[in-house]
Homo-oligomer: A and B are copies of this chain.
């Protein structure tokens, strides 16, 4: 299986703006990427980073400065790959990803496996069908199911809280703090975040 982790090098994670300044957002995005790569490697697979620009990271890097959908479709349609090759696309902000959760995704036996993100996105997928293509705009989870149906691929949804939790907005940070992997969690601790309880749900506040 070929596992690709797309990563936007320039101004990543802009929707975390209210909680983190630009330098922090860049550092946090890198911490999450490193955690995702570590979790993938623990399943026995060496991931490739699909980056929008050169990046210094401990993994093979493919550079493609096109938007996400086009860059991922470039990988899915690469001429040299065998029709039967499985390709996985795992987002770089899945700070809660564990080897167990990824293993459940990678070992599905369907032609297209999808992990929805919160709010209708697609956080991770596996394609074993040569004609499957992505479209990450809007409610991509629904679109990806539809695209799979249209090409006659059998499609399955993988049910994982860890993989469904992408970290886009300040409210998502509490999940990283509670369940996150090493670097991402350490980043938040070092940045001064801590738990506070209000209105029944725990939220993350900054102590300093």
Contacts and interface: CB of A to CB of B under 8 A. Distances in A.
Contact of A178 (B100, B139, B169): B139
A184 B203 CA distance: 27
Interface in A151-208: 159-164, 168-169, 174-175, 178-179, 195, 197, 199-203
Contact of A200 (B15, B195, B200): B15
Interface in A98-136: 98, 100-101, 115-116, 118-121
10 contacts: A15-B200, A116-B179, A119-B174, A119-B202, A120-B178, A120-B202, A138-B197, A139-B178, A161-B161, A169-B201
A7 interface: no
Please report whether the interface of chain A is mostly helix, strand, loop or mixed according to DSSP: mixed
A145 to B, nearest CB: 10
A162 B162 CA distance: 11
A201 B120 contact: yes
Nearest to A164: B161
Given A118-B201, A168-B201, 18 more contacts: A15-B200, A101-B159, A115-B161, A116-B178, A116-B179, A119-B175, A119-B202, A119-B203, A120-B178, A120-B195, A120-B202, A121-B201, A138-B197, A139-B202, A161-B163, A161-B164, A164-B164, A169-B201
